[in-house]
A and B are shown apart, each in its own frame.
Chain A
Amino acid sequence: MSLKYQRIKQRDLNLPLPLRWLTRAFSSITMAICLLLSVVAYGTLASVPMGLLGQGALLGLGFIIPLAIGTGLAWWLGRSHAYLGLSFMGIALLLGSIATIPINQWVHQIAWFEQYRALVFYRLPSIEMTELEFYSWWPMKLILGLFVLNMIWATFRRIEFCFLNIGVLTVHTGIVILTIGSILYGKAKVEGDMILWRKDLGGKAENIFYDATTPAIYFTHKDMNLMLELPELPRYNDHPPEAGTFTLPLHERTEFKQVLGNQLRATIGGFLAYGELVSDWMSHPQAPVNPAIRVGITSNPDDDKATLHEQVLIGSIPSKRVINQQLWSVEFLVSPHKQRMADLTEPFEGAHGLVVEIPHKKFRKVYPIKPNQTITLDDTGYSITVDDLGPYGMSIVTPGYKGASDTRAMLSITDGKRTFRRLAMHRYPKLTQDFVPAPDNPSVGPMGQRQAPSTDIKITYLDRSVSQFWIIQPDLTKQDLTLTACLPGQKPLTVPFAHDRFPVAILGTQSIWLQLIERLPHARRTLKAVITPKSKRKPNEEGTYLHGLIPIDLEIDLPGQTTPWRQRVWLAHMRYPNPEYAEGFNRPVTVHVPTLGKVEISFSRQRITLPFSLTLNEFDMIPYPGSTIPRDFYSDLTITQPDGSTSTGQAHLNNPLVHQGMKLSQTGWDPGNPKDPRNKARNDQGKFTNQQRYSILGVGNNVGIHIIFMGSCLIVVGIPWAFYVKPMLIQRKKRLIQQQIALEKTG
């Protein structure tokens, strides 16, 4: 205890009790150490995921408890038997290490640890802060504030203000100055980035950059652009609209009313932190009737996870109502013609068959067929030769059938007088066609003139070389279903489709099932928001909004109507809100609001305006000598002031351009698509045309950085004084005093 503190403590005795305690506490080193340990605890909580922290704590306890017992024994014994003590210590170390193994195994079985393995405290739903926000939260501010107060007070009361102590005083002053600097810095900091296109590719002067963290929503209506900042938006946790855990009305804000009027109500109805928009078929009761079913193909119908594939079969779209496999196929038919059903269920022997009808002769018969076989149709005068059986080779281009595939029979038909060919389709009989020879017409090829099938003879081709299933909804509006199965070499079978699943293939103990998951009587294509499972999220993109989705519920009262007009739109986050940076579903959404007109909405980041504008003249990469490995990237920029005066500069990697207190750093660039061979294309001037088209500049200010720098310098200079110069001076003083004493003695 310094003499100064002893003096002051004496004086303190005159103070009233609580004040004395207070001043004692703030002069104590113990309090400083406690506060520093609080900073350590806070930093640990903010940097180590909770699961890891829990695991570490348990493992540490498992290791330390035996070690502590062993050390205690070692100490107790060691005083008399040093080596016995040492061996106890060794045994304790070993036991401690062994103890960690079962603990580790146990930890891996507990779901809590798995759940919180990567979850840092500040990401909990009730907190939802960025790392920086968490560190500048009030508890941390309180700890640091108390620490600085404690330090200042203790310095005044304990340390003599003399030349010798200049080191420690400098360090403490440095810490205070650094704190003041950081407060200023934190208050004034803006940080974000901007994207600039190369001038020769049409890039213009830009003076807008986007904040690094604050999200915003943009409404464009009649040339007016409205930005609403959304600092309230969650970051890490999903709030699906149906859960109702997060809603944010936007129409209550004054700026909103100024641009979009008092009538429109817009509410953010939820938030998905990490998801994607998927186009999918859903049933909307208001939509027209359009029966569809969602089916799953599964290897074990009792296990949800065994589902291999899901598909929606839409009765009204021929190409989308079928699943075609090599061994089986399924078709969803809505109110098929009775005749078609009768044809499909005709029994015959073999893998392929024809149902032949000659209406004017009242002839109808079913024939099993093989390639190159000729059938004489009793005494009708007709005969049919099967030229070929197999897949319809080309892709079908008929509207509605696009992308569909089918099998077909190529037949030659003779009625005694003439011969023509018929292409009879199995699944899509409507696509059946005739080819009639036209030797006189030179524009017709050897196949003959293509025309609609002759009505004199009707032929239906049935392909049963694989198992064929039909799920049939006989009535457009009634929900009953039947199942028809035609298996190779078996009689067709029709049963009510009461259960929601049936086997399509069985192989030994393995079976493949088709499971009806959902009925969609009013199917319509809709955008659906899907939450990305935790295991598939990129850890460094969590909490960045890059995969964030928000639903906006729009509502407006219509004159003379009791129910308001309502619409929900899903917005996917855009790094930059401009339509030219749209990609996939990450784009602005346009809504036609009754009585208001077109409104464009996008979800991006807060926009900040710079006091000057920037143009990207050139962007280039500097490789390591003799290689193509990048060593540096730079943007060559022109800075234009509002008064029109210009200057130029370059922003390099690690060497930013500083202008009017704004630091412009090279943070990103356009890599193009490395897989695309055109990526290396250059124009006449030797510039890339498919990569390095744009540059991303980090923009930020640094208010107070000089104060911080000064504080740092004081700390760095003060420490060696305290550690090395002061003891040296004391030593010298001691020597001098000793010499003096010696002199006095001899004198």
Chain B
Amino acid sequence: MPSRLLALGLLLCLPVASLFAQAYPETHAAPPPAIAAPPAAPPPAHDDHPPHTLMPRASHDALADKVDLSAFRKLAVFSAGRAKIVDTYAREQLQLIYGKSRWKDIDTNRQFDPVFTWLDLMLNKSYYAQRPTIYVEVLELRRSLVTLLPEKDQERWLKYGRLAPNLFLLPEAQQIVDASAADLRLNKARVQVLRAWRAFQASPQALSMLSPPASSDHWTMLGDHAPANNLLMQLAEHWYHGNASKVNQTLNELTVLLTNHNPASYPSMGLRKAEYLYNTTHRFTIGYIAYLIAFIILLIAMNTERRSLRRTGVAFLLIGFAIHCIGFAIRGILSGRWPIHNQYESFIALSWFAAFTGIILMYTKKQLLYGTAAAALGAATLLFANTVEIPSNELGQVPGILATSRILYIHVNIIIASYALIALGFFISLIYLGNYYLKGPNGAALRDLDRAQMVVLQLAFWLLGTGTLLGAYWADHAWGRWWAWDPKETWALITWIIYLIVIHVRFATKRPHLVTAQLSVVGFFVMLWTHWGVNMLLAGLHSYA
């Protein structure tokens, strides 16, 4: 019998067709693909230039060299609830599409300006069709997608982290992406890819770049304004032909047109320049350099007692702090609110407040130690913000529940201040521990250090308690329950308990200073967990905080 079945099987050598596509019964047909329509077609063919030819790399790179975007990048565009400059918008879009703000040519290793690449992506899509461009963040999804490529190329593309837009036009790729919707964990990956794809497909005509008249606050899209649309068409054509001088000329005309359309409602040049500066300095996080220099010099100064070193160290600390201040202030001005509404903002605010307190204490208590700790903290936090992509670092509107409360401002500010002090206390305690273990338990500096850590930690304890209780007051008001044992609440309490123990354990131990310093280190990590880990790893009501 099995042999007969086998014979039957062998009879079934059917013509090679896309069998698997048909293997699914019709009732099980995949839903229409969420990835729609291929990328926009290139501009209409010109007589002297046949359509659909790929721009050679040499002319592409030459265009990138010659095109002048200095004025264009500072134009305003309205998106996600605020008017931002093109430079910011281009960075955001590339972040979405490519996962980084600077596109890199994998063969020449050349990196391109974000605004250039963004314009190029919209006006010259075909250039990117075969190049690694669409960011696929999650490795598992990337791995399934590269299986559609020839085997010898798979490993290479897997490493790029970005896949070619052409690949996504394959129905199989769409099926793979759609199928990820079924798995909750992979669904995140799918949403990311769909967002990247949508941003990749964007048309320049849909950009709201014409400022509103006095009677309205509605920005007009380029495509809805005939002269602007006309210029855009010309730009597209010159761009497509790699004609840099004509491109520059059209960009200038566009700049003039847009800034003079409704000058009254157009964001001021000063503000736009500030935003550009904000972007090019990595949101002023480069202040870490000054902080780092200050920390090293102050550390030496503390041990050598040389006045010149002290002065230089303090000067660098103040420079670092000034940069930090400007970054914080510009963000506030650009977003039009006190910038503490997401993780990036609260992180910057936290380190700013800690540095501020450190500097104030340095002057009032006349101890260099506070300044040293402030510099260490400023350097560590700004370096972190500079190198690691902290979630929700885009400027934008905030969820309704956060926007309609005044208590929130006080609650969050107080909590952030207490976290900042905990961080400052941590650095002081580290210096204490270093002194204790390296110079022995009887060092003269230890008493001062202990007093310093207690000053900071006591204030942190009070602020954390007050902030948490204010949060409870707010929760009672907004959620109808003052204490819900939500993970964030629980961990705020646990953090507070650690410092409650710090304060009381001093009565019950023979070496209160040392135990305080050790618990301060523990408390700092608990605080980090409360501030970051809880948001990342535990689900709860505070997921936007």
Contact = CB atoms under 8 A, between A and B. Distances in A.
A540 B539 CA distance: 7
A326 B22 contact: yes
Contacts of B217: 625-626
A629 interface: yes
Q: Which of B19, B212, B473, B508 has most A Cβ within 10 Å?
A: B19
Given A36-B497, A43-B490, A633-B400, A719 B23 contact: no
A410 interface: no
B537 interface: yes
B184 interface: yes
A310 B501 CA distance: 61
Nearest to A52: B537
Q: How large is the interface on A (under 10, 10 to 19, 20 to 34, 35 or more residues)?
A: 35 or more
A485 B212 CA distance: 72
Contacts of A705: 476, 482
B345 to A, nearest CB: 18
A606 B28 CA distance: 40
B185 interface: yes
Interface stretch (A18-26, A361-369, A496-504): A496-504
Nearest to B440: A79
A48 B538 contact: yes
Given A510-B19, A633-B400, A46 B485 contact: yes
Given A29-B508, A325-B25, A503-B9, A624 B81 contact: yes
Contacts of B1: 495, 498-499
Contacts of B170: none
A505 B12 contact: yes
B8 A503 contact: yes
A506 B14 contact: yes
Contacts of A715: 465, 469
Interface stretch (B91-99, B120-128, B224-232, B401-409): B401-409
Interface string A32-53: 1100110110011011110010
Contacts of A738: none
Given A536-B184, A716-B465, A700 B480 contact: yes
B507 A131 contact: no
A39 B81 contact: no
A510 B4 CA distance: 19
Contact of A490 (B11, B19, B493, B501): B11
Contact of B400 (A30, A132, A630, A698): A630
Contacts of A467: 12, 14
Contacts of B214: none
A325 B22 CA distance: 7
Given A191-B481, A716-B465, A654 B494 contact: no
A84 B532 CA distance: 35
Contact of A654 (B11, B81, B182, B404): B404
Contacts of A29: 504-505, 507-508
Given A502-B5, A511-B9, A715-B469, A654 B405 contact: yes
Given A490-B11, A503-B12, A654 B462 contact: no
A705 B519 CA distance: 33
A195 interface: no
Contacts of B483: 182
Contact of B437 (A74, A185, A538): A74
B480 A506 contact: no
B461 interface: yes
Contacts of A182: 483
Given A39-B497, A467-B12, A653-B401, A627 B477 contact: no
Contact of B484 (A44, A132, A624, A654): A132
A291 B537 CA distance: 52
A680 interface: no
Q: Is the interface of B mostly helix, strand, loop or mixed?
A: helix
B516 to A, nearest CB: 13
A507 B16 contact: yes
Contacts of B458: 723
Contacts of A510: 19-20
Given A631-B400, A665-B480, A82 B438 contact: yes
Contacts of B504: 29, 32-33
A169 to B, nearest CB: 15
Contacts of A32: 504
Interface in A674-732: 698, 700, 702, 705, 708-709, 712, 715-716, 719-720, 723
A712 B472 contact: yes
Interface in B10-41: 10-14, 16-17, 19-20, 22-28
Contact of A44 (B28, B403, B494): B494
Nearest to A132: B485
Contacts of B472: 708, 712
B377 to A, nearest CB: 19
Contact of B438 (A39, A78, A719): A78
Nearest to A630: B400
Interface string A290-329: 0000000101000000001101000000000001111100
Nearest to A536: B184
A728 B284 CA distance: 41
B491 A43 contact: yes
A591 interface: no
Contact of B469 (A48, A631, A712): A712
A661 interface: no
Nearest to A47: B487
Contacts of A507: 13-14, 16, 19
A370 interface: no
Interface in B447-472: 458-459, 461-462, 465-466, 469, 472
A502 to B, nearest CB: 6
B111 interface: no
A33 B479 CA distance: 32
B480 A698 contact: yes
Contacts of B507: 1, 29
A41 B483 CA distance: 19
A499 B2 CA distance: 8
Contacts of B24: 308-309
Nearest to A299: B23
A85 interface: yes
B500 interface: yes
Interface string B397-417: 100110111000000000000
Given A325-B22, A512-B19, A663-B480, 15 more contacts: A39-B497, A43-B493, A308-B28, A495-B4, A499-B5, A507-B13, A626-B217, A629-B397, A631-B403, A654-B404, A655-B404, A656-B480, A708-B482, A719-B466, A723-B462
9 contacts: A47-B491, A131-B484, A182-B483, A311-B27, A507-B16, A507-B19, A536-B183, A633-B400, A702-B480
Q: Sorted from nearest, which 5 A-B pairs have the closest CB atoms?
A: A626-B217, A29-B508, A700-B480, A503-B9, A47-B487
